[in-house]
Chains A and B, each alone.
Chain A
């Protein structure tokens, strides 16, 4: 029994840690899905902008020794600002029905932001400060990492905040109106461009939090993370169903949990391959994602 029990504890521990870490994927996925829902366009820059926000937060920590909360706040604000710039540069002036051009422009912005980060940091990974003392809660044979618990708490808090804005404020009403029928929204006197810009800022704020949390949980911030995080965010968005916020949350946790299972059995080099295969499994058996059945659009 000893061996089996040990293995069981080990695996459930791994899945648990993954679920907690998956909360950051959920946040990134929500960002992609939010912008897709509003404009029916993919913003490829999103994950890069989130990490760039985390870099600004890290700068605040390094140069003025800002406390943890301020670092998170600055990361969020910086990423929100980058979101606004990306909207103006890549979406605002490109014809609404030209999806390809907007996609290409945002890929251009992805490389641009990535290169700026590489240049300012000389391409080397930087240590992100552990925001807290190392805490380990003991629950029976399982341990709960304090920082991962915090990651989950912040994710839940920011998701609740986002849902509040979307469903309880005039701004959210406008955002949802534009996403459902932008012509009708325009006829009701909603400024589509301003609403879209606000969506980008909102998504950016969320992304900044996610970026800083990812960095805090991993302990380093490196430009090498950009593309994998972009790909995982996109996978979460597709698995959850494009445009579905609950879908992004569930899919983020799912990807986080399974990722750790793959890590446990196959090692770090092969882990991401299986995550990518997961996407194809969904494309074959459930192409509209977990929560996407109601949405059947291009």
Chain B
């Protein structure tokens, strides 16, 4: 049972990661920097609960805010460039953050051991949940409360004026600008919101895994982050959730019998999916077919 709860927690954390990329993709920006914000959230929240002995909730919020702050900072220079240049800039940011934590050593004595990030050896003692006697059920519920909050917020935003503005920028920047939308403000806001969501995800990840090191936050993780909304499509937040369940639940767990060969298959699957369904597995046409087949009518 705890295995499935662990999987459920992982799906929750990855949904947050995917949603952080989803917000940005609504404005037409593709970022491979989400792994960096995720890492900042993970390390900051971990340091706050372990070294400063804060409770989980303020630590988590602080972690998310710190990640959002860095997303805001990265937003300005990075958004001066568009499209593929932004991809390069955000990969560079992500790698920079990874190398920063690769070098970070901040050990403080706690009883007869030392705790804190230990550069290459990783950050091993993020044991807030265990120390406070949380059960696996409680941890899973805690994770999913945040997933549901974020999904609800984004779902509501999508139906408000803000969602229309984001999508307008994503559809056609020039037209959006002509309609009086401040492009820089919109893009930097989306970047900051994305950083905040990734930060929550990272903070939750660090505490559920109890251990993080720089190898957790590679380009592979950043690729996962953008592959969820790309596969799930941008029509709603649920696409991302379905894509996470599909990739983490079905592919990664289902292909476990392949052992080490699993990653090779993962690469091939991405190539195949992009050739067969370049606009995402759940593009407008497929979504329509799905809706009809479950009797939701042919709206859209």
Taking Cβ atoms with an 8 Å cutoff, the residues of A that contact B are 36, 40-42, 89-90, 93-95, 98-105, 107-113, 115-116, 119, 227-228, 230-231, 234-235, 237-238, 242, 269-270, 272-273, 276-277, 279-280, 283-284, 287, 298
Contacts and interface: CB of A to CB of B under 8 A. Distances in A.
B274 interface: yes
Given A111-B267, A272-B95, A103 B278 contact: no
Interface stretch (B59-67, B83-91, B246-254, B292-300): B83-91
Interface stretch (B8-16, B96-104, B146-154, B160-168): B96-104
A115 B263 contact: yes
A85 B102 CA distance: 35
B77 interface: yes
Contact of B103 (A111, A273, A287): A273
B85 A242 contact: yes
A244 to B, nearest CB: 13
8 contacts: A105-B271, A105-B275, A111-B267, A119-B260, A273-B96, A273-B103, A280-B77, A298-B84
B227 interface: yes
B77 A108 contact: no
| Residue among B102, B223, B268, B270 with the highest chain A CB neighbour number at 10 A | B270
A237 B271 CA distance: 24
By DSSP majority rule, is chain B's interface helix, strand, loop, or mixed?
A: helix
B84 A276 contact: no
A108 B274 contact: yes
B176 interface: no
B220 A42 contact: no
Given A94-B275, A119-B264, A108 B269 contact: yes
A119 B263 CA distance: 11
A89 B271 contact: yes
B27 to A, nearest CB: 14
Contacts, number: 126
B98 to A, nearest CB: 9
10 smallest CB-CB distances across A and B, nearest first, come from A108-B270, A112-B267, A101-B278, A105-B274, A111-B267, A276-B96, A108-B271, A115-B264, A283-B77, A101-B274
B243 interface: no
Contacts of B264: 112, 115-116, 119
B89 A280 contact: yes
A103 B99 contact: no
Given A109-B267, A238-B85, A273-B99, A284 B92 contact: no
A111 B274 contact: no
A35 to B, nearest CB: 11
B267 A231 contact: no
A287 B267 CA distance: 32
| Residue among B80, B219, B267 with the highest chain A CB neighbour number at 10 A | B267
Given A108-B267, A111-B270, 17 more contacts: A36-B84, A89-B275, A95-B278, A101-B230, A103-B87, A104-B226, A105-B274, A108-B266, A109-B267, A109-B271, A111-B220, A231-B95, A279-B89, A279-B92, A283-B80, A284-B77, A298-B83
Contact of A276 (B92, B219, B263): B92
B80 A100 contact: no
Contacts of B268: 108, 112
B279 interface: yes
| Residue among A99, A103, A107, A270 with the highest chain B CB neighbour number at 10 A | A107
A111 B85 contact: no
Contacts of B93: 276, 280
Given A119-B260, A234-B91, A235-B88, A283 B81 contact: yes
B92 A280 contact: yes
| Residue among A94, A105, A237 with the highest chain B CB neighbour number at 10 A | A105
B279 A41 contact: no
A230 B88 CA distance: 10
Interface string B212-255: 00000011100100110010000000000000000000000000
Contacts of A269: 99, 102-103
Nearest to B84: A42
B83 A231 contact: no
Contacts of B218: 227
Contacts of B30: 100, 103
Given A115-B263, A227-B219, A287-B81, A105 B270 contact: yes
Contacts of B88: 42, 234-235, 237-238, 279
A89 B270 CA distance: 11
A104 B77 contact: no
A112 B278 contact: no
B81 to A, nearest CB: 5
A89 B272 CA distance: 8
Given A101-B274, A102-B274, A280-B89, A115 B230 contact: no
A108 B226 CA distance: 12
A231 B92 contact: yes
Nearest to B173: A298
A104 B270 contact: yes
B107 interface: no
Interface in B121-172: none
B114 interface: no
A99 B267 contact: no
Given A90-B274, A109-B271, A112-B268, A104 B230 contact: yes
A100 B95 contact: no
A179 B127 CA distance: 55
